[in-house]
A and B are shown apart, each in its own frame.
Chain A
Amino acid sequence: MTTAPQIWPDAKGRFGPYGGRYVPETLVAPLEELEHAYAEARRDPKFQKELDFLLKNFAGRPTPLQFASRLTEHLGGARIYIKREDLLHTGAHKINNCLGQGLLAVRMGKKRIIAETGAGQHGVATATVAARLGLECVVYMGAEDMERQRLNVFRMRLLGAEVVGVNSGTRTLKDAINEAMRDWVTNVRSTHYLLGSVLGAHPYPMMVRDFHRVIGLEARDQILNVEGRLPDLLVACVGGGSNAIGLFHAFLGHAGVKLLGVEAGGRGHALGEHAARMAAAAGYSGARPGVLQGTYSYVLQTPDGQIATTHSVSAGLDYPAIGPEHAWLADKHRAMYTAVSDDAAVAAARTLARLEGIIPALESAHALAELIVRAPKMPRDSVVILNLSGRGDKDMEILARYI
């Protein structure tokens, strides 16, 4: 059954009650400028053409939708297809959004780009696009993430970006975003903040989603081609939620396609031990709607409204808030969310490496870990698409401990 998709957000950047624009006054006019520039670019065929060209010739789109025959056989249930975003240039889906926003920055006459990064994939993609487009680039990264993803730090520096370590707070993604926002508020006239997920103030959650929408558009055509029908289930990991919404969005109007987001269950259910914002049903505590870094959504926090610390083996999922559109999809029961542990994710990475010859990013391995539990319980003629958001090269030092 097909229902007409309601286009969110509304004019104020709201997905139902979620989203909005909670920023210091200094950033409001620049966000309005960005919103208008993006609205114009979206309607401009020249912009779209240039973006399509770079996505194809620089980033390597379209990515394959690969039938995972040995994994399917091993699990003995649903037919599993893998959307290979890991094959993109720089190794993750992040480049889709970076190319879009990079071109937009050039269009707005901004010569300097700043970004935050957790796993380093968004930082690498931003540094890559900045090099390709001739822009100055500064990337903020939590000191803990610089240690656990240091290969990506080298890559960014080789690409000519300045990487600034952030030592405040939890020394991870959240603190890197704080520092990037402080830079932006200071250098707002010369600088574009290239935010890396469907987070932050309007228009970011909408704009970043739109730039990743290509994932689902391709996957829909590809699955119709090979299976002659739509899938039963889509599975993706959810940090801020950009790769997940990128896959989900083209399917939102197809009510028969179930959507499943997988968060980081870390090493326990107590607040501080995980980064699961939407998985209260699975016993993960501490998330309530609140405002963090510009947007109203589910946030892991203490009873008196201080943002909680989080833990995940995967730096890209180690963040206390979820993108506002996901909160809305969960409220409407259009998408489901669950979480898997660090250990399950690491084990899943090993399984995929041995069965399919693909080493996934630890982020993507979370989606796979949940699929490994679910697929065997699904009928053999059912079809699942797994978003493989990135490859695991950056995680080799962590994975090496488990070989």
Chain B
Amino acid sequence: MTQSATSMTNESRISRRFAELRKSGEMGLVAYITAGDPSLEATEQFVLAMAGAGADVIELGVPFSDPVADGPVIQRASERALRAGTTLAGVLSLVKSLRAKTEVPLVLFSYFNPVLQMGLEKFAEEASVAGADGVLITDVTPDEGAEYRQAMSLHGLDTIFLAAPTSTDERLALIAEASRGFLYLISRTGVTGAKDQLADELPALARRVRRVTSLPIAVGFGISLPGHVSVLGGLADAAVVGSALVEEIERAASVPAAAEALAARVKLLKGAAVAGMSQRELQG
């Protein structure tokens, strides 16, 4: 576990935030929304509202024409964002503008092609200068990621990789080794989207991941309710919420109404996260 040594000394905003959470015994809340849905200006308001409501890390989805890992909710958000003219360059200027207003850790969540077309080096430099803290590329695994990892780490960006229920122990070790900041564990086989219940296999899976890493583990896919977050207490260091938030944006009558709904949802989920080990919300 040489990884733990590096991550402890890593001064990224992400690592610092997880260190604080660990110290106070809180579980973290990672909030995903698609950038540019319905506009980049709106996304800026949404991020500030969620950070104010207690989100520990914000993931900004870069919209892509062919989001194969996403369910219908995020697919529709990507379509709306692209129709509004959102580009990767635009998302990077949003990061810059946000960084002037908040210290919340920001992760860029993208498919590979837009990043590849900008150029790995150029992307890493611009993202870093703008004030992004980490990058997660849905369709790049550590196997294909050598060049990408090198470019990101050169510019001090955390590379976050996904672990899945189908990952073998051998692969989990590879993923842990390549991840910085935190490790993102997918709760079930499937695409993004809220579900009523978390997968039964999740506890065993989380324990398998814990065995190979001391990095913080964030669990995502299918999390929308306080009860889901409570269940993760003791299993994970953070819960990731995406589709449920994107749905709030889709449903809201206006941008201010969406910002309000996002803040309320984040507050509710963060409340469950702070309670950490508590199982009470399950009954409630």
Contacts and interface: CB of A to CB of B under 8 A. Distances in A.
Contact of B66 (A20, A24, A169): A169
Given A25-B175, A174-B66, A189-B189, A306 B168 contact: no
A142 B191 CA distance: 19
A304 interface: yes
Interface in B168-188: 168, 171, 175, 186
B15 to A, nearest CB: 22
A24 B164 contact: yes
Given A25-B167, A185-B189, A188-B166, A169 B117 contact: no
Interface residues of A, number: 37
Given A24-B164, A290-B116, A168 B139 contact: no
Interface of A: 12, 20-30, 168-169, 174-175, 178, 181-182, 185-189, 288, 290-294, 299, 301, 303-307
Given A186-B191, A293-B68, A29 B168 contact: yes
A305 B117 contact: yes
A27 B186 CA distance: 12
Interface string B67-80: 11101000100010
Interface stretch (B41-49, B82-90, B268-276): B82-90
A20 B162 contact: no
A306 B78 CA distance: 11
Contacts, number: 114
Given A21-B143, A25-B186, A182 B118 contact: no
Nearest to A181: B68
B165 A178 contact: no
A28 B141 contact: yes
B191 A301 contact: no
Contacts of A294: 139
Nearest to A309: B65
A305 B66 contact: no
B117 A293 contact: no
B66 A293 contact: yes
B144 interface: yes
A86 to B, nearest CB: 32
Contacts of B117: 288, 290, 301, 303-305
Q: Which of A30, A294, A305, A307 has the most CB of B within 10 A?
A: A305
Given A24-B162, A185-B68, 6 more contacts: A22-B140, A25-B175, A25-B186, A29-B168, A168-B79, A178-B68
A185 B138 CA distance: 13
Interface in B72-131: 75, 79, 82, 87-89, 111-118
A59 B230 CA distance: 56
Classify the interface of chain A: helix, strand, loop or mixed.
mixed
A303 to B, nearest CB: 7
B169 to A, nearest CB: 11
A35 B161 CA distance: 23
Nearest to B190: A186
A347 B68 CA distance: 37
8 contacts: A25-B175, A28-B143, A185-B190, A186-B190, A290-B116, A303-B117, A306-B82, A307-B113
A25 B118 contact: no
A25 B141 contact: yes
B171 A29 contact: yes
A307 B118 contact: no
A12 B142 CA distance: 13
Contacts of A305: 64, 88, 113-118
A304 B114 contact: yes
B175 A304 contact: no
Across the A-B interface, give the 4 residue pairs with the lowest CB-CB distance, nearest first: A305-B117, A305-B114, A26-B164, A186-B190
Interface in B188-227: 189-191
Q: Which of B65, B144, B186 has the most CB of A within 10 A?
A: B65
B163 interface: yes
Given A185-B69, A186-B190, A24 B167 contact: no
A313 to B, nearest CB: 23
Contacts of A29: 164, 166-168, 171
B166 A306 contact: no
